[in-house]
Amino acid sequence: MTYGYRSPEGEPSGCHAECGVARKDAAVNNSGMTTGRPAGYSAISNYSRVEILHLVQDRPDRTVAELVSATSLHPNTVREHLQRLIDDGYVVSATEHRTTRGRPRVLYSATDGVTACSPVQHRKARAAAQRGDLMRRVLPGDAPELDTAALHQIDALVEDLVDAGFDPLVDENELTVELTPCAHASSQAEHREVLCSVHLGIMQSVLSSAEGPLSVDGMRSSCDPRKCIVQLLHASQRP
């Protein structure tokens, strides 16, 4: 995998660390990264799956019947979408514990990396950290300003965002992740509020699964719907 490294003037000037972290006044452009997955393959490239993910983010332990009622989708379609979200590490399932007669229901929750943990997401985070460490060893560049745990979180976050169709620019000093232009702003503009909520939830889940000091603080406000900058927060900055 390769990342383009942009000088302050915005021109490519070689490769940099896989984590996509900006060094000083430069930024790393991840458009050159290849993951082996075709564009649009992401589980959240389909709005029906986004809607389902939003529902289980809003309230965990949902049943298929509840999701069918909320989305008006066929039960088999909901099950297929849920399986896809599970396969990508965004949703986990658990069998209901019953103390009465009757078949236990399967309950679905969004992965949060803390109380609802996905082995898929943990595996992806570990693999991203290993690739990031390798690239930082073999490629020249300034010493990272973030600690190792934070760098591993950024590794996992950047890979997940790229797989989702974004081209993230991460600024290590400002602790921002710029996703401009938003890959979904024009194609699904009418669902922007839901999309933003789901994407922020996924980002926090990925950071939590990677286990480090960084968390999502929120999205910077902008009058331009295509502009998206997410602010991260280091544990040392919390009051």
DSSP state string for 45-58:
GSHHHHHHHHHHHH
Read off the tokens for 130. Answer: 């290993």
Please report the pLDDT score of residue 220 as a whole number.
85
Closest CA to 89 of 8, 156, 167, 10: 156
Helices 119-138 and 148-163: crossing angle, nearest 10°? Answer: 110
Q: What is the CATH number of the domain that holds 69?
A: 1.10.10.10
Please report the pLDDT score of residue 34 as a whole number.
40
- pLDDT-based confidence at residue 170 (cuts at 50, 70, 90): very high
Is the same domain home to 151 and 228? yes
Closest CA to 157 of 190, 189, 201, 115: 201
Q: How far apart are CA 234 and CA 29, in angstroms?
A: 22
Whether 1 shows a pLDDT value over 60: the answer reads no
**Structural domain span for residue 200:** 4-37+119-237
- pLDDT-based confidence at residue 212 (cuts at 50, 70, 90): very high
Which letter, b or e, does each residue of 174-212 get, where b requires 16 or more Cβ atoms within 10 Å of its Cβ?
ebbbbbeebbbbeeeeeeeebbbbbbbbbbbbbbbbbeb
Is the same domain home to 163 and 219? yes
- pLDDT-based confidence at residue 180 (cuts at 50, 70, 90): confident
At 222, the amino acid letter reads S
- pLDDT-based confidence at residue 40 (cuts at 50, 70, 90): low
Is the same domain home to 31 and 126? yes
pLDDT average, residue stretch 123-141: 92
Is the same domain home to 143 and 217? yes
Number of domains in the chain: 2
Q: What is the mean pLDDT of the chain?
A: 82
Please report the pLDDT score of residue 65 as a whole number.
97
Is the same domain home to 82 and 144? no
Whether 224 shows a pLDDT value over 80: the answer reads no
- Assess whether the previous peptide bond of 181 is cis (omega < 30° from 0): yes
- pLDDT-based confidence at residue 100 (cuts at 50, 70, 90): confident
Is the same domain home to 143 and 164? yes
Q: How far apart are CA 211 and CA 112, in angstroms?
A: 12
Which of 54, 82, 110 corresponds to the end of one domain?
Answer: 110
119 Cβ contact partners less than 8 Å away, ≥ 6 residues apart: none
Whether 169 shows a pLDDT value over 80: the answer reads yes
Q: What is the pTM of this model?
A: 0.81
At 121, the amino acid letter reads Q
Which of 110, 130, 151 corresponds to the end of one domain?
Answer: 110
Residue, of 4 and 152, whose pLDDT is higher:
152
Is the same domain home to 161 and 65? no
Whether 46 shows a pLDDT value over 80: the answer reads yes
Is the same domain home to 84 and 53? yes
Residue, of 68 and 166, whose pLDDT is higher:
68
Please report the pLDDT score of residue 13 as a whole number.
33
Is the same domain home to 61 and 125? no
Whether 30 shows a pLDDT value over 70: the answer reads no
Is the same domain home to 124 and 209? yes
Which of 84, 110, 136 corresponds to the end of one domain?
Answer: 110
Please report the pLDDT score of residue 103 as a whole number.
85
Q: How far apart are CA 116 and CA 126, in angstroms?
A: 18
Is the same domain home to 139 and 25? yes
Is the same domain home to 212 and 230? yes
